[in-house]
Chains A and B, each alone.
Chain A
């Protein structure tokens, strides 16, 4: 952080003549914008315009006809009235989304923090082994990870049903965990936590490394017990990083799509297990009701927007730092 001193505008070299000095000043003022221009253009075209467009679409009855002709068909708040008046949203989709995300975030953070603290206590060799293994969990793409978990819990030949059958705990071929809403989401949670905790663990471990070695030693000299050292040194050090990974996990876990969609029944066959993301997809691409789908997408975005405000607040302390 010490290197992050504010950079003053450089004095123009050889700028004795006022005109060339002025031109150099304009050039300097323009240069950051020239550097930013390509990135900002991409973001404007591919993020901001679509964001505006999804809002516009959410106020329309946009179906196959509109897709083909490209004309607009505004119906005001009809889509929102339909969705918000639908008990399906309140009884199934919203609880699925919120409770699932809550469970995933909570478990991801708990596991991630414990693993970070564990890494801190390990010797060099085991630390390298553990962090390599964590990287492997992280590396597994969401799609293939989902397939592996489906295979593990496969009702016919999966390892879990095979094992429980071997122990005589379940009747083989009669237990299908993917049809029940709770067990479906339990498997999805396992999948998301397995994929998500490495980021938390690695980030928090990096934060733990910033504790100067003298600090715990000094605390020991002053007679602080392990518990006090944890609360007075470790917790304050990792708190900013913890805020960041919390909010990021919330955002990632609210909009989970592939991990649900690819599970058996998750693509719409089993309506009990839809979450906001999958519901929006099915309304638009399976039922060709792009307006309704957009309205659901807007709801999801608004939900996350509320959380984003918290994120920016958490980081605003570091905002002034370049």
Chain B
């Protein structure tokens, strides 16, 4: 894409890249460096941390039961990924591969459902989970997150399934496969990249979600990490080193995930959004 660019143009691009890097990275840098800074609470505008310590992490993990919160988050996230991947794949195959009455209606419904402001459903879902006695349980939270990630997952996977040429499927039929065998040995491997993209999205939805976890989990042994971090937030003074250490612990898995799979993720999201 690079054509003959003038010197002024090149300087402009360099400046834009620098601005982008600073704006994007500064909060990440400030979080991580404060987490390791022994004097984080009085850091002010010191660009470099005053030293290096693991005390904040030790404090968060030992005193705050933060390990348990992280484990809770991971459990809920994994449950959401498995369930939503399975259900979404079935639904995506149905809308991408079959022609049936009301197909368009189902598609539009899946699209519109993504627009429902989930925050508006806190009250009824709280009452519903209360009636089912699932309020303080990780299963209850998993089920709710499943509903949140499902429409997007169906919509994205639909694009991936539709992109598999139907000739490939027909070849499998000609070779004597039944529908189920074709699904398992032909379609599933081919849509695996899409499945990766939607799984990551579902995991991150669950890992990052705040309001439902905040409302549903009243027993502090059931807190997720995002809610547990709230406890380090004092009303009058805040132990910033500890909060930043906790924030780093929550952010790091997501960060590594995103950077590792960025191509696939971007492709998946783009094909879901544009197709």
Q: Check if A and B associate.
A: yes
For B98, the closest partner residue in chain A by CB is: A32
In the assembled complex, how far is the CB of residue A4 from the closest CB belonging to chain B, in whole angstroms? Answer: 5
B171 interfacial contact with A, CB 8 Å: no
Contact of A115 among B20, B86, B107 (CB under 8 A): B20
A188 contacts the other chain (CB 8 A): no
Residue interface mask B231-246, A partner, CB < 8 A = 1:
0010000101001101
CA distance in complex: A307, B112 (Å): 11
Q: Are A154 and B16 in contact, CB atoms less than 8 angstroms apart?
A: no
The yes or no answer to B8 lying at the interface (CB within 8 A) is no
Contacting pair A206 B266 (CB below 8 A): yes
| Complex contact B208–A5 (CB within 8 A) | no
Interface locus among A78-86, A122-130, A176-184: A122-130
* B112 near A202: Cβ-Cβ < 8 Å: no
Tell me the bound Cα distance from A5 to B164 in angstroms: 11
Q: How far is the CA of A137 from the CA of B16 in the complex (A)?
A: 17
The number of inter-chain residue pairs (CB within 8 angstroms) is: 316
Cα(A14)–Cα(B150), bound, Å: 37
A218 located at the interface, meaning its Cβ lies under 8 Å from any Cβ of chain B in the complex: no
Residues of chain B within 8 A (CB-CB) of A39 are 87-88, 90-91, 150, 154
Interface of B (DSSP majority class): helix
- 9 further interface pairs, Cβ-Cβ under 8 Å (given A46-B143, A166-B44): A31-B179, A39-B90, A47-B121, A53-B124, A157-B41, A162-B44, A202-B270, A257-B210, A290-B123
**8 A–B pairs (Cβ distance < 8 Å), ordered by A:** A8-B99, A42-B150, A139-B257, A151-B240, A194-B24, A206-B267, A294-B124, A311-B115
The 7 lowest CB-CB distance pairs between A and B, nearest first, are A162-B44, A206-B270, A46-B147, A162-B45, A144-B247, A297-B120, A50-B124
Q: Which residues of B are in contact with A by a Cβ distance under 8 Å?
A: 1-2, 5, 13, 16-17, 20-21, 23-25, 27-28, 30-31, 34, 41-46, 86-88, 90-91, 93-100, 103-104, 106-108, 111-113, 115-125, 127-128, 131, 143-144, 146-147, 150-151, 154, 162-166, 170, 173, 179, 204, 207-208, 210-211, 215, 226, 229-230, 233, 238, 240, 243-244, 246-248, 250-251, 254-255, 257-259, 262, 265-267, 269-271, 273-275
